[in-house]
Structures are given as C-alpha cells and as structure tokens.
C-alpha cells in the first residue's frame, strides 16, 4: 500500500497533525504528504483503569487529541482543517501501560520490566474529517484504528541499562526507549510494523485513507447529509469505524451492511462525541429524541457558540451529580443499616408495605428509600400476577456486594463509612480550615473518643469487620498482581484479620505467611481465623514500629503507609530494609495517585479526612522506597480498591 492513490485527493486540503512528535513528523513527511503541525492541548490524564484493553486507552487519547485541535482551529486559528490526525503510542508489558518516563528512575523501572521479555507496542490513530457548512458551522466525522507490534528485549545488564538511560534518549519516548536510535541495541526481534514502534503505523494509515477516499462514499463531503444517521437509540450518531483488520470493507449507507456501523463510545474523560447537526430546530429535536445525543461545540468564524445548550446541559448534569453524591451514599448506607438487601435475599418479592413491616419503618419512608435504591441500580421492581403492588428484589450488584453474608460483602465496610467516616466528613469545612482531623469534634458530638474505641471490644470488632470486608474484595487482585512464586515466606505487616494472607496461600501453596499486628487485633482475629484454620498462616502480636519484624522473603504492606506520618513511615521502611537481604521483595498496595493529582478521585477524597499520613503516586512511593534500598520492579493499576507495586531489595 502506498499513499499515491489518495495524494491527489488531499491536494489543496488543509491536513493537520495534532502532534509535536518529531518521529511522526518525519514518517509522514517522507510520504510526500503536505500538512501543518498543530500540537494538541489535550492533557493525557485519562484514567487507564477504566479501559478494558490497553489499545482502547491509546485510541481514546488519540481521539481526544485530534478532536481538541479540530475544534480549536476555527476559533483560535480562524481556519478550519479538512483533516486532523491524532496519534498516541504506548508500550505494554504484563498488562501495565508504560508511557514516557518522568525521570531516570522511572526509565529504569520501565526498562527493567521489559528486560528479557516480549512486549506490545500499540499506536492508536484518530482521523477527524471536518466539513464546513453554509452557516459557518462544522460537521465532524471520526475514524479510528490501532496497530499492535510485538517487540522482544534482550536480557539487559545493569551497566547497559544505565548507559542507555544516561544517554538521555529514553526521556521523551513511550516505554523509555527509541527503537530507531540507540534503543535498537536493546531489541532482539520485532514482529509487525516497525514504524508503529517508532510512533506511527504508516501502512495501516495509508490503507484507511484508501478506504476513505477511494472505496467508500460514506466519507465524501458531497454526501454528508445522507451519511449522518439520526440520533435515536437505534442508530449511530456519528461515523465511527473501529477495527483491527483494515482489510474489512466499510458499510455503505442504506446497504444491508449499514447496521454494522459501530455506535459512538462515550469518552471516559471528556464525554465528547462527534455528530452532525444541521439547524437549531434539528438540534433541539435530536435532544428530545435522545438524552444521550451529544453535539460538538460549533462556532462561527467570529467565535460565537451556536450550540451552547448541550455543553451546558452536560456541565449541569455533572455538577448535579456531584451535589447529589452525598444523598446517594446516605441512601446506600441507610438501606444497608436496615438490612434491606439481606431481607430481599431471604424473602424475595416483597412490596414496600411488607418491607416496612419487616424493618419496622414507615410505609412512606420505606417506599421512598426503595425507589431511590432502584434508581441507583441496587434494587429492581417487577409486577407479579395476583399482587396489586410492584414487588422489589435485589440486583446482581446487591447480591454480590451488599448482602451481609455474601462472599465479597461490603456490608461491614459500608456501616463503617456511615458510622465513622460520615461524621468526619460532615466537618470537612473545619478540617480544611484547620488542616487536621476532626475526630475530636466528632467525639464531642457523638461521644466517639479514641479511648472508648480502644476499650470497647464491640467497637474494635466492628472496625475489624469493616477492614476485613474491604480487604477480601481487594485480596485476589493484590495476591495475583505479581508472580512471587520464587519466595517461600512472607510477613503481612499490619495484616489485621489475615484476609490478604489467606488469599496468598491459595495462589501460592508453597508460601507461608506471618501476620503481624497489635496484640488487641490479633486476639480478636481469632474470630476470623476459624473459617480458614490453615497452618501456613500464623499470627504474631507486636507493634511494627517498635518490635522486631519476623524474618521473611516478602514483606507485604496493604493500606499501611498512607496512614503514617513521614517519621513513622521511614521508621517502618527502615526496619523492613534492615530485615531484608538482597533480593527480598516488598509488596506495596495503596491507591496510587496520578503525578498531576488528576486522579483517581478515591485517593484524593480519602485524603480529605486529614489523617496523619499522605496519599502518594506510584512514582513518589518509588522514590521513598529507593531511599531505603528498594528498586521498583513493576507497578500494576487495578479497577479494584487498590493498586500494587513490587519492589526488590538491591
């Protein structure tokens, strides 16, 4: 495939590359394509955890880059491009996405994880076609695709790694290497498109252009009106071709294949969609037909926005979502406190009046709570023959997580949120003003002093049930995050009820785990041990900040470091480092923030409790651990409660 068959079609058109990458610039210039470079202002901060596959993240980033430039140019540059090209290249290994390293230590982490392994390089590409209309509005069409290339690294020595890192080449390249330069010396073989690894899959791009301009009238500006489909639920609101095999022919409108056009995916970050809009009346009609129809921001050349009602609607929806968030939380907490989900599991098909009798509450209040839970997707209603009123039943969400006896029940943790965290966050304004935890204020309001907590076995048990339920949900992800089969002994520091330890011995039958925690915690932990009773897990009473740590090959810290002051954190890490011999492993699980603090929101919101500790990014933890002699080998982000990091003592 060459570009010649379409070069004449692009002659005289304004083609824009939404990237400042010199490698993409060179690849495209070598084809003879004439284009301008307008780097995208889109911040690459999409949450990787929201994407099922790595290539989806690359494609979505490429789309957002291209769309940002396509929408900005008519306003800022006073000219509308005919085509905007966006691209994003990522390197993935063991399910982890590697982008550009932030510093030399990050580059070392990346390259170490690639040493001796085959990995994948994905480039997502988005092509936005812009069509000006008579009223100076712009219609957008979007085509995206991705390319995957397999690359195998040689086994890299420390000297070779640092020699390459110190050359400075890794710092602006995905995965920390440039295959077209010095990085080529690290590579054993390449399977697939070499230029894709450099930064742009030229062959696949040319095939897409050939389809667009030579084989499919769908993308012809002259047929725009017949191309765009209505915005109801049965049709796509824009042209979006997403395919791995570019040899697949694209459907033509009104043909039997037209139904195979993919519906536009909702963007996980900006929720921007691209569709065609003709007149203001037409826009309003589409809005009424489908609340999910989202129009692009359309401006005339004087910069006036013609379609500002839709962005405002989205913005308002988002604000209301945030404003009402506390109501949704309290509805969940209250239904859980009344054991509604347990009741409907044991007695499914009750109506609101029957449920009110069971939970000893008013019919009006119960009915209102149940309907709110239906709107949140926690319950559902159904009409039953012979029953005058609709009855309620649990959804799968409630069945799996909200019943108190479910395997992965969060019932106890939800009650902890209601009884302990809710009162703390009710005083958030004071916490922000003072920069301290509001436990003292809560103590006065609700008589919840630290002393009463420590002396109340019942309160301790409630707290441990909460920690146990949240740990069980995350345990599998933590235990399977990395391969630690070469290690034989582990110490779960602050391991509470042993939920993580018991999951580890399931995954690694040869592993034995010691759970270290305070004497009062170990005493109550016996209640949770009875259901397991496995000799490979033992419990040791002690204070990990004062007492000697048990000897182990692997030390595990799950949700420990974020709650410690800097002084206590360094005391603990120093004790672990002293107990470790070279090659010992440290497994850390926390909520890892992004470097620019764009997410994930759970960690940032948790920090508002103003505890003594601090939420950190993976890079920040890596730097701290490096000071104690640990090298970060791998980081894994999870869709669950926790992310994980594996470090090795140097």
Catalytic machinery residues: 88
Maximum alpha-carbon separation in the chain:
82
Q: How far apart are CA 183 and CA 154, in angstroms?
A: 11
The 3-class SS string of 102-117 reads CCHHHHHHHHHHHCCC
Q: How far apart are CA 616 and CA 640, in angstroms?
A: 17
Q: How far apart are CA 485 and CA 494, in angstroms?
A: 22
CA 216 vs CA 210, 213, 251: distances in Å:
9, 7, 8
Look at residues 187, 41, 208 and name the one whose alpha carbon lies nearest to residue 126.
208
Q: How far apart are CA 624 and CA 620, in angstroms?
A: 6
Sorted by sequence, the CB contacts under 8 Å of residue 332 that are 6+ apart come out as: 373, 376, 378, 402, 414
Look at residues 286, 294, 291, 287 and name the one whose alpha carbon lies nearest to residue 264.
294
Q: How far apart are CA 589 and CA 99, in angstroms?
A: 21
What Rg value do the Cα atoms of the chain yield, rounded?
28
Q: How far apart are CA 401 and CA 411, in angstroms?
A: 7
Q: How far apart are CA 399 and CA 224, in angstroms?
A: 48
Strand partners, 557: 493, 588
Cβ neighbour number for residue 320 with a 10 Å cutoff: 10
Note the Cα 609 to chain centre separation in Å. Answer: 23
* Phi, psi angles (nearest 5°) of residue 112: -65, -40
CA 220 vs CA 131, 528, 634: distances in Å:
10, 66, 47
* Phi, psi angles (nearest 5°) of residue 135: -90, 20
Look at residues 532, 525, 507 and name the one whose alpha carbon lies nearest to residue 515.
525
CA 356 vs CA 132, 344, 350, 402, 535: distances in Å:
60, 12, 10, 19, 46
Distance between first and last Cα of the chain: 50
E runs forming strands in 94-239? 96-98, 118-132, 138-153, 187-191
Q: How far apart are CA 513 and CA 492, in angstroms?
A: 7
């Amino acid at each position: 495939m060459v570009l010649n068959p379409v070069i004449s079609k692009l002659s005289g058109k304004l083609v824009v590359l939404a990237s400042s990458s010199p490698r993409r610039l060179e690849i495209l210039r070598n084809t003879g394509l004439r284009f301008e470079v307008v780097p995208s202002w889109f911040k690459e901060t999409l949450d990787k955890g929201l994407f099922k596959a790595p290539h989806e993240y690359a494609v979505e980033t490429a789309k957002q880059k291209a769309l940002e430039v396509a929408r900005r140019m008519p306003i800022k540059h006073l000219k509308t491009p005919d085509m905007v090209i966006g691209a994003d290249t990522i390197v993935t290994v063991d399910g982890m996405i590697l982008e550009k390293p932030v510093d030399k230590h990050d580059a070392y982490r990346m390259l170490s994880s690639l040493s001796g392994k085959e990995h994948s390089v994905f480039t997502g590409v988005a092509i936005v076609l812009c069509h000006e209309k008579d009223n100076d509005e712009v219609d957008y069409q979007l085509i995206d695709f991705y390319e995957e290339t397999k690359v195998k690294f040689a086994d890299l020595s420390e000297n070779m790694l640092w020699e390459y890192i110190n050359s400075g080449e890794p710092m602006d390249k995905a995965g920390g290497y440039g295959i077209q330069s010095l990085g080529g010396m690290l590579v054993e073989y390449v399977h697939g498109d070499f230029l894709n690894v450099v930064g742009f899959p030229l062959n696949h791009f040319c095939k897409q252009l050939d389809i667009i301009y030579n084989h499919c009238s769908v993308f012809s500006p002259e047929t725009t009106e017949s191309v765009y489909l209505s915005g109801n639920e049965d049709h796509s609101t824009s042209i979006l071709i997403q395919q791995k095999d570019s040899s697949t022919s694209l459907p033509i409108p009104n043909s039997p294949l037209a139904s195979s056009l993919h519906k536009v995916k909702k963007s996980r970050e900006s929720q921007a969609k691209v569709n065609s809009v003709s007149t203001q009346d037409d826009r309003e009609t589409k809005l009424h037909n489908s609340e999910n129809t989202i129009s692009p921001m359309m401006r005339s050349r004087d910069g006036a926005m013609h379609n500002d009602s839709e962005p405002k609607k989205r913005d308002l929806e988002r604000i209301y979502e945030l404003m009402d968030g506390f109501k949704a939380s309290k509805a969940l907490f209250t239904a859980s406190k009344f054991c509604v989900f347990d009741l409907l599991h044991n007695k499914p098909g009750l109506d609101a009046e029957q449920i009110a009798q069971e939970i000893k509450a008013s019919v009006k209040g119960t009915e209102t709570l149940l309907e709110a839970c239906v709107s949140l997707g926690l319950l559902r209603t159904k009409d039953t023959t012979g029953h005058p009123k609709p009855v309620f039943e649990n959804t799968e969400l409630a069945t799996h997580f909200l019943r108190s006896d479910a395997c992965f029940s969060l019932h106890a943790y939800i009650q902890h949120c209601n009884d302990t965290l809710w009162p703390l966050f009710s005083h958030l304004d004071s916490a922000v003003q003072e920069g301290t935890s509001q436990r003292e204020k809560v103590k006065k309001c609700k008589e919840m002093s630290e002393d009463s907590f420590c002396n109340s076995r019942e309160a301790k048990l409630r707290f441990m049930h909460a920690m146990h339920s949240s740990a069980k949900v995350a345990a599998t992800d933590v235990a399977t995050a990395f391969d630690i089969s070469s290690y034989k002994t582990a110490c779960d520091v602050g391991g509470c009820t042993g939920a993580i330890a018991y999951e580890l011995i399931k995954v690694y039958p040869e592993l034995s785990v010691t759970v270290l925690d305070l004497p009062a915690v170990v005493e109550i932990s016996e209640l949770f041990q009875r259901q397991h009773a496995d000799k490979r897990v033992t419990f040791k009473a002690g204070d990990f900040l004062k007492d000697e740590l048990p000897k182990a090959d692997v030390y595990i810290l799950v949700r420990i470091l974020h709650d410690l002051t800097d002084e206590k954190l360094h005391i603990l890490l120093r004790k672990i480092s002293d107990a470790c011999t070279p090659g010992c492993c440290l497994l850390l699980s926390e909520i890892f923030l992004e470097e620019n603090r764009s997410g994930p929101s759970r960690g940032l919101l948790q920090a508002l409790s103003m505890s003594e500790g601090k939420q950190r990014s993976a890079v920040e933890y890596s730097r701290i651990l490096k000071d104690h002699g640990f090298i970060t080998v791998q980081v894994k982000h999870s869709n669950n409660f926790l992310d994980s990091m594996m470090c090795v003592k140097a």
